[in-house]
Amino acid sequence: MDKILLDHGSGGKLSHLLTTEIILPFFDNTILAQLDDGAVFAIDGRRLAFSTDSYTVDPIFFPGGDIGDLAINGTVNDISMCGAVPLFLSAGLIIEEGFPMDDLKRILASMQAAAKAAGIQIVTGDTKVVPKGAVDKIFINTSGVGSLRPDIRVSSGMAHIGDRIIISGSIADHGVTILTRREGLTFDAPITSDTAPLNHMVRNMFEVSTDIHVLRDPTRGGLGTALNEIAMKSNAGIHIEEKRIPVKDAVAGLCELLGFDPLYLANEGKLIAFVPGEQSEAVLEAMKQEPFGEDACIIGEVVDEHPGKVVMTTPIGGKRIVDMLTGEQLPRIC
Amino acid sequence: MDKILLDHGSGGKLSHLLTTEIILPFFDNTILAQLDDGAVFAIDGRRLAFSTDSYTVDPIFFPGGDIGDLAINGTVNDISMCGAVPLFLSAGLIIEEGFPMDDLKRILASMQAAAKAAGIQIVTGDTKVVPKGAVDKIFINTSGVGSLRPDIRVSSGMAHIGDRIIISGSIADHGVTILTRREGLTFDAPITSDTAPLNHMVRNMFEVSTDIHVLRDPTRGGLGTALNEIAMKSNAGIHIEEKRIPVKDAVAGLCELLGFDPLYLANEGKLIAFVPGEQSEAVLEAMKQEPFGEDACIIGEVVDEHPGKVVMTTPIGGKRIVDMLTGEQLPRIC
């Protein structure tokens, strides 16, 4: 392939290839090679997590949020998925010449509120303005640093046979919201992005069990792609049951109408956790205590079959292999 | 002002106003309010520096470097300017659909080489692909984390009367390189960007003296703007001598020809240090030992006059107030 395609940014199969075959060879080191949501390292014995994400979502304002809180929550969540407590964030703004000052203030206010809700501080930043046409409105990069307890180890490569797979709530809300908004569709049913900070939930989960094996927020590429990455990295077989996966009625209806599979649509306030069977109920209960986890449920488990693959039992009892997302469902979803 | 102007990204006066009057009020905290090149904080007693920068330079390839090594060196330097040792960097790529894969590989190779030269690791990343027209070719954000010794305190607010002001070499090389390249000008004289990592030089400077008061890399806005920010934040009077400021002949000639003032053109491999008089020669000598510091020299001092202002003695003995950059000399310089 001699050109970058939109699919390279899908979060799915081609993204994975771009990362592993083109980018990773240039920067090979054991920390980056983990390919988790963030990097974990120690400085003078103190374990830290560090993560970065650029946000290019279009439209920049959408039901349930905007590019500002999305950017804060996204990096808060990536650090949380390392098992760490997010503490300090950076904000890098790239703004198009002519961008309305009021829109900028609205986005900044949204970032401020999200930072407060997550309990983190934005401590450093950078603002670039580029000529009209060099960027579409505004892109935001956030990076963040968190503190990681010595006794916590989570990684996409640590799924164990017998682990129960918990999801914190309904899937595809963010993806469907952006999709419908971009297509100019409006509905009676209130469909809103699920963008939310998950750090408080994660803290409570670790209070119940430090033996959580995998934490992951299924953003770009959706639940299907995230589970595939975990299955591959852990060389583990994943079995899920379709009827247990929570999808809101309005979201399910729209996906059917428009021909999208909710398994591959982005979530921005959900996590999946792989937890040993005997601790799964306690962790599930801890999640349900949280406002962003009240619909948490167990959707499957890690099995001693089909290593590296995700298999889903359909409502009528059939079995289907869930592959990574191939092709781009929706560019600029986050 | 109801719209973002290009001048808001100049690194000069309007950038300063955007940061202090629009952005800062939303995220007010004592760390961010320092407005240094990076943030300094402690996690469990361990002092860290954290910095972010987005690179939007146009053209992406230029004599002496490209957007890749510029992005690595820039964040390495920002962390170094906090007095810290840069250790771990993130890389966030935003790529335009259709971008040539070979160009991407060339940029990645350049990032790899720059990381190696600086002795840092790229440990986490993010890649977004946006539809054609949503970004011009490629933008790169780098953020970084460094370790800071307990006995080092540098800040733009710490200039003291009697401090000597040292610059590590000639100014305006990067700015003139981008400018001429963008205008399609070619010359016999080799004019190249000065992009370089300054962390090794800073380490050697601190081996000579831990009493360095201010470190700063005069990037966007140039030497003139950086000195003004230090003068204002320290409420100190700065005096410099024009004839002492190193400017390469070819660079000076081009600036004269094109009507640019080298004082306001960007540098990407230079630092200024404010050092107590009695230690300035030792620090200067340490800088001269380094390949990127061999032309280091003292250009002025902090005086007990005109607090908050920068005054320059011209070659013929006149005095001129050096203001911050007003207006945009050159968008997308870095």
pLDDT, averaged per 10 consecutive residues of chain B (334 residues), comes to 90 88 90 87 94 97 97 98 97 97 97 98 96 97 97 96 98 95 78 97 97 96 96 97 97 91 96 97 97 97 97 96 81 88
Do A48 and A84 form a contact (C-beta atoms < 8 A)? yes
Tokens of B250: 């070819």
Question: Does residue A291 register a pLDDT over 90?
Answer: yes
Do B217 and B271 form a contact (C-beta atoms < 8 A)? yes
pLDDT of residue B34: 84
Q: Which amino acid is at A267?
A: N
- In chain B, CATH 3.30.1330.10 sits at 36-148
Q: How far apart are CA B29 and CA B38, in angstroms?
A: 14
- Average pLDDT estimate for A62-85: 97
Instruction: Say whether A128 and B1 touch across the interface (CB within 8 A).
Output: no
pLDDT tens, residue by residue, B318-331: 999 999 888 766 78
Instruction: Say whether A52 and B143 touch across the interface (CB within 8 A).
Output: yes
CB atoms within 10 A of CB A284: 20
Give the gap in angstroms from C-alpha A145 to the nearest C-alpha of chain B: 8
H or E element that contains B215: strand B214-216
Q: Which residue of B lies nearest to A332 if distances are taken between CA atoms?
A: B130
Q: Which amino acid is at B316?
A: I
B267-297: string of b/e by CB count within 10 Å (b at 16+)?
A: bbbbbbbbbbeebbeebbebbeebebbeebb
Chain A within 8 Å of B9 (Cβ-Cβ)? yes
Q: Which residue of B lies nearest to A32 if distances are taken between CA atoms?
A: B123
Residue B308 CA, chain-centre distance (Å), reads: 20
Instruction: Say whether A129 and B8 touch across the interface (CB within 8 A).
Output: yes
pLDDT of residue A9: 86
Phi first, then psi: what are they for A227, rounded to 5°?
A: -65, -40
Q: How far apart are CA A319 and CA A316, in angstroms?
A: 9
Class of the domain covering B163-322: alpha beta
Give B124's strand partners.
B90
**Which residues of chain B from 45 to 64 reach within 8 Å of chain A, CB to CB?**
46, 48, 50-54, 56, 58
Helices (H) and strands (E) in chain A, counts: 8, 14
Do B47 and B150 form a contact (C-beta atoms < 8 A)? yes
H-state helical runs in chain B: 13-17, 67-80, 101-118, 173-182, 199-208, 222-234, 249-258, 277-288
User: Percent helix, strand, coil in chain A (nearest 5)?
Assistant: 35, 25, 40
**Which residues of chain B from 183 to 242 reach within 8 Å of chain A, CB to CB?**
none
Helix (H, G, I), strand (E, B) or coil at A195: coil
Tokens of B14: 């309007």
Q: Which one, of A252, A226, A81, lies nearest residue A170 by Cα? A: A252
pLDDT of residue A328: 66
Chain B within 8 Å of A326 (Cβ-Cβ)? no
Report for A1-5, A43-47, A57-61: range of highest mean pLDDT = A57-61
Phi first, then psi: what are they for A303, rounded to 5°?
A: -115, 165
Percent above pLDDT 70 for chain A: 99
How many Å from the N-terminal Cα to the C-terminal Cα in chain B? Answer: 25
Instruction: Say whether A99 and B123 touch across the interface (CB within 8 A).
Output: no
Tokens of B90: 């993130």
Question: Does residue A187 register a pLDDT over 80?
Answer: no
Class of the domain covering B36-148: alpha beta
Do B175 and B270 form a contact (C-beta atoms < 8 A)? no
DSSP B331: T
Q: Which residue of A lies nearest to B57 if distances are taken between CA atoms?
A: A130
**B85-96 and B121-130 strand pairing:** parallel
pLDDT of residue B328: 66
Kindly report the length of chain A: 334
Give the gap in angstroms from C-alpha A18 to the nearest C-alpha of chain B: 9
Give the gap in angstroms from C-alpha B312 to the nearest C-alpha of chain A: 29
Q: Which one, of A65, A81, A16, A1, lies nearest residue A273 by Cα? A: A81
H-state helical runs in B81-146: 101-118
Q: Tell me the pLDDT band of A329, cut-offs 50, 70 and 90.
A: low
Residue A311 CA, chain-centre distance (Å), reads: 21
Do A200 and A290 form a contact (C-beta atoms < 8 A)? yes
Number of cross-chain residue pairs from A and B with Cβ atoms under 8 Å apart: 274
Give the gap in angstroms from C-alpha B145 to the nearest C-alpha of chain A: 8
Which residues of chain A lie closer than 8 angstroms to B26, CB-CB?
A: 105, 108-109, 111-112
Do B162 and B276 form a contact (C-beta atoms < 8 A)? yes
Which residues of chain B lie closer than 8 angstroms to A5, CB-CB?
A: 97-98, 129
A199-208 and A67-80 helices, crossing angle to 10° = 20
Which residues of chain B lie closer than 8 angstroms to A333, CB-CB?
A: none
Which residues of chain B lie closer than 8 angstroms to A94, CB-CB?
A: 54, 56, 139
DSSP B325: P
- In chain B, CATH 3.90.650.10 sits at 163-322
Q: How far apart are CA A200 and CA A214, in angstroms?
A: 17
pLDDT of residue A239: 98
Q: How far apart are CA B163 and CA A319, in angstroms?
A: 74
Helix (H, G, I), strand (E, B) or coil at B118: helix
Do A253 and A161 form a contact (C-beta atoms < 8 A)? no
From the list B9, B98, B129, which residue is nearest A9 (CB)? B129
Phi first, then psi: what are they for B296, rounded to 5°?
A: -60, 145
Q: Tokens 């996590």: give the residue.
A: A271
Question: Does residue A79 register a pLDDT over 80?
Answer: yes
**Which residues of chain B from 133 to 172 reach within 8 Å of chain A, CB to CB?**
133-136, 139, 141, 143, 145, 147
ipTM of the prediction greater than 0.90, yes or no: yes
More confident residue, A331 or B127: B127
User: Percent helix, strand, coil in chain B (nearest 5)?
Assistant: 35, 25, 40
Kindly report the length of chain B: 334
pLDDT tens, residue by residue, A314-323: 999 999 999 9
Chain A within 8 Å of B116 (Cβ-Cβ)? no
From the list B97, B112, B135, which residue is nearest A27 (CB)? B112
Q: Tell me the pLDDT band of A161, cut-offs 50, 70 and 90.
A: very high
Q: How far apart are CA B230 and CA B212, in angstroms?
A: 14
How many Å from the N-terminal Cα to the C-terminal Cα in chain A? Answer: 25
Do B219 and B266 form a contact (C-beta atoms < 8 A)? yes
Residue B242 CA, chain-centre distance (Å), reads: 20
Q: Which of B93, B104, B129 to mutate to test the interface with A (most CBs of A within 10 A)?
A: B129
Residue B208 C-beta-side C-alpha neighbours within 13 Å: 19
- Average pLDDT estimate for A90-113: 97
Q: Which residue of B lies nearest to A19 if distances are taken between CA atoms?
A: B127
Do A250 and A148 form a contact (C-beta atoms < 8 A)? no
Q: Tokens 């070979």: give the residue.
A: B102
